[in-house]
Amino acid sequence: MEITSAKFVISNSRADMCPEGNLPEYAFIGRSNVGKSSLINMLTNHSKLAMTSSTPGKTLLINHFLINNSWYLVDLPGYGYAQRGKKVMEQIKNIIQHYVLERMQMTCLFVLIDSRLEPQKIDLEFIEWLGENSVPFALVFTKADKQNIVKTQQNVERFLNTLKEQWEELPAYFITSAEKKTGRKEVLDYIDSINKS
Ligand code: GDP
């Protein structure tokens, strides 16, 4: 899929204030600093469409971007901000839960995983929760350029093997680098294939 247009539409902190209509939504989520903004900017070919996590006030917002006038790319708040305090953590959790569980238009949730790290409890727990709630999702391993291919493959395999202990079927997954634009075509083609099905 080619991206011919990408427009910021609205930021808000409530799932029920998201855009009306029936366009499919593809949402992106992950731990703070996982590389979500960089990935969104890479996918849409915009250097500053998604604001980085250092932008003040950004953490509590759901951001909708209209792509090719036919689907929304949704930037969700990052999870796992331990340093933000309990109250903010609760607020973030509520926003995520409402959006993920109640937003009928959400077609696939892309869960970002840092390809440099061994499987992290917080990511595994989040994925388990998605499974319990039958939420459609795919995995995106980020920052693949930060180490050699062998190391990336090892980390990805470790992650998938951990999931295999609980899941009969593995989700779709993508290995990406915002820096090198790796995986861009694969993620966009995956979205395209769901949109056409
Ligand atoms: P967010 O908090 O998940 O939105 O993460 P950001 O996109 O702001 O990225 C966090 C940091 O990781 C920034 O310093 C980025 O430049 C860096 N980063 C993100 N993606 C990549 C990548 O694919 N390769 C490299 N080398 N650095 C990345």
The predicted-structure confidence for 100-116, as pLDDT tens digits, reads as follows 999 999 999 999 999 99
Three-state SS annotation for 4-61: CCEEEEEEECCHHHCCCCCCCEEEEEEECCCCHHHHHHHHHCCCCCCCCCCCCCHHHC
DSSP string, 128-152: HHHHHTT--EEEEEE-GGGS-HHHH
pLDDT at 58 over 80: no
Cα 196 to averaged position of ligand 1 atoms, centre (Å):
31
CB 30, CB 77: distance < 8 Å: no
- DSSP annotation of 76: P
CA-to-CA dists, residue 176 to 59, 82, 102, 173, 180, angstroms: 23, 26, 29, 10, 8
Cα 38 to averaged position of ligand 1 atoms, centre (Å):
5
| Confidence category of residue 81, pLDDT binned at 50, 70, 90 | low
- pLDDT given at position 54: 57
**Secondary structure element (H or E) that encloses residue 97, with its range:** helix 86-102
Provide the token pair at 63.
Answer: 């951001």
pTM reported for the whole predicted model? 0.94
- pLDDT given at position 84: 66
Does 36 reside within a domain? yes
The predicted-structure confidence for 143-156, as pLDDT tens digits, reads as follows 999 999 999 999 99
- pLDDT given at position 193: 95
Range of the domain at 90: 6-196
| Confidence category of residue 34, pLDDT binned at 50, 70, 90 | very high
- pLDDT given at position 86: 79
- We report the CATH number of the domain holding residue 161 as 3.40.50.300
CB 145, CB 67: distance < 8 Å: no
In the chain, the number of structural domains is 1
Q: Which of 38, 149, 152 to mutate to test the pocket of ligand 1 (most atoms within 8 A of CB)?
A: 38
Does 1 reside within a domain? no
- Kindly provide the ipTM of the predicted complex, given to two decimals: 0.99
Provide the token pair at 74.
Answer: 């949704």
What is the Cα–Cα distance from 124 to 38, expressed in whole angstroms?
A: 22
Residue with token string 């999870």: 79
Does 149 reside within a domain? yes
Cα 178 to averaged position of ligand 1 atoms, centre (Å):
7
58 lines ligand 1 (CB under 6 A): no
